[in-house]
Amino acid sequence: MNIIFLDIDGVLNSHRKLIEVYKKTHKPHSGYNYPFDEICLNNLKELVEKTNSKIVITSSWRKDEEGRTKIIQTLKDYSLDQYIIGYTPILHQKRGIEIKAYLDTL
């Protein structure tokens, strides 16, 4: 099985998109209001479909309900929610250790 361990910040939201949205709205965005980048989402969709991959969320956004809801809704808008198979455990360790812990459960 191919798995994409997905982070959000800097992967599905970009500095370019933040500047684009700020120029239109003149409002700062941060936290879960940070705008997702359509180009990045389309790239993820293409990657998932071409590699027949599943998605495991590794982002710190997975740590609370608001963050998880925002991720799922955004991925659903791109028909990517169906590929989510889980989240890495929250071990308060480096991300690589959390990914290894997830892989150890397979």
Q: What is the pTM of this model?
A: 0.88
Query: For residue 79, what pLDDT is reported?
Result: 97
Query: For residue 29, what pLDDT is reported?
Result: 65
Dist. CA 66–CA 55, nearest whole Å? 19
Query: For residue 30, what pLDDT is reported?
Result: 62
Give one DSSP letter per residue of 74-102, joined into a string. Answer: HHHHTT-GGGEEEE----SS-HHHHHHHH
Dist. CA 3–CA 11, nearest whole Å? 16
Query: For residue 5, what pLDDT is reported?
Result: 98
Both tokens assigned to 40: 């990045």
Query: For residue 50, what pLDDT is reported?
Result: 98
pLDDT of the chain, 106 residues: tens digit per residue: 999 999 998 899 887 877 787 788 777 666 677 778 999 999 999 999 999 999 999 999 999 999 999 999 999 999 999 999 999 999 999 999 999 999 999 9
Provide the H-helix boundaries in the chain: 15-25, 38-51, 65-77, 95-103
